[in-house]
Amino acid sequence: MTEFPQEKFLIFTADDIITEAELRAVEAAREVLPELHGSIIVTAAEAFLRENRDRLIQLDPGVHIDLFEHPIPNDPAGLFGRDGKLLQMLHDREHGKSSGEVPEEWRPLITTEMTRQIQTLEDRLGVKSSHISYHFGMHHFQEIIEAYADLAHQHDLPFRWAKKYEPGVTPPSPLHPHGFVDEFNLKDSPETCDILGEAKRTLPNGGGFAEVCLHLGQNTRSSQAQAKLFSQIGLRREIEAAGFKIGRWSELRATRGNMNGASLPNRLQ
C-alpha cells in the first residue's frame, strides 16, 4: 500500500522549454519561486542546449518527452513529429476514428526514442534529469504511457503521472506526484487561476505531492496570465498560508523511495 505524507507539497514545473523567450520567462518566475523546475524538449533543441548549458542547469531540469511535434534526427519509419504516423493516429483517436493498438513493429522504435531523449539531456548538460514528463497526446496511447512509466522506473527517475489522463493504469514505480494540476492553463487571468484549490482536490486524504504544470514565455493569453501570477511577490506567502510547502522533484524522490532502477519487462517490446 502506498504511504502518503501528511504534509501537502506543490512541485512547480514549467513545460516546453525550447526557446530563449521561454527560458527567460522561467528565469524571471524563479526570482519569485526558486524551486520552479524546467522541463526541456530536447528533440529540437540541440544548439539551444549547447549555447545555454549553464543557464539550463540552474533550472534543475528534466526531459519533456516529445513524440508528436518536433522532428527526430533518425526516424526511418516516419513515426515522429508533425508529419509522423503517431500524430495522425492521435488525431484519429481524438476524433473517434480509430482506437486500434500501436503496431507491434513501432513499439521498440518508440521505446528507443524516449530513451534517446532522456540520454540527450544528460549528455548535453552533464547532469541527470531531475524528472521526466511528456508532451501533449501521449496519454491517448496506453501502451506508450505504460512504457514511459517503465522507463522512469528503469532509470530511477521521478515522473509526471496525471491520473485523470491515465485512468485504470497502475505505474510500476511510486516516484510520481499524487496529484496533477493543469486546468488553470485554460484560464485567461491570474484571478481565475485556482491553483491551490485544485491542488487540494487532487491530493489523497489532504496530504502528498501535487505537480503544477506551467507554460511560460509563450504567445498565449494563458501563458501571459501565468507569468503575471508568478511576478507577484506575495505568491510564496499565499501558497504557504493555504497549508502547502513548496517541493522539488528530488524531495518527492527521497520521500517516496529509491527503486534502484530495477529492470522491468518493457511493455513496448
Q: What is the CA radius of gyration of the chain?
A: 18
CB-count burial class (<10 Å; 0-12, 13-18, 19+) for 168:
exposed
Q: Report d(CA 248, CA 60) in Å as an integer.
A: 9
Asked, for residue 267, whether it belongs to a domain, the answer is: no
Question: How many domains are there within the chain?
Answer: 1
DSSP string of 107-175? HHHHHHHHHHHHHHHHHHHSS--S-EEE-TTGGG-HHHHHHHHHHHHHTT--B---TTTSTT---S-S-
Whether 1 is in a domain gets the answer no
Q: Name which of 217, 154, 212 is nearest 184 in CA terms.
A: 212
Decide if 91 is inside a domain.
yes
The Cα 62–Cα 38 span in angstroms is 6
Q: Which residues pair with 39 in a beta bridge?
A: 62
Amino acid making up residue 131: H
Tens-digit pLDDT profile for the chain (269 aa)?
A: 345 567 899 999 999 999 999 999 999 999 999 999 999 999 877 789 999 999 999 999 999 999 999 888 889 999 999 999 999 999 988 777 776 789 999 999 999 999 999 999 999 999 999 999 998 888 888 889 989 999 999 999 999 998 777 667 788 889 999 889 886 544 444 444 577 888 888 887 768 899 999 999 999 888 888 888 888 878 898 899 888 999 999 999 998 764 333 333 344 43
Q: Is residue 266 part of a domain?
A: no
Residue 240 lies in a domain: yes
Q: Is residue 50 part of a domain?
A: yes
Single-letter residue type at 99: S
Q: Where are the beta strands (DSSP E) in 58-111?
A: 62-65
Expressed as residue numbers, the domain containing 144 is 8-256
Q: Report residue 86 as a C-alpha cell.
A: 503517431
Model-level pTM? 0.88
Residue 241 lies in a domain: yes
Q: Is residue 265 domain-resident? A: no
CATH of the domain at 124: 3.20.20.370
Residue of 64, 252, 74 whose CA lies nearest to 148:
64
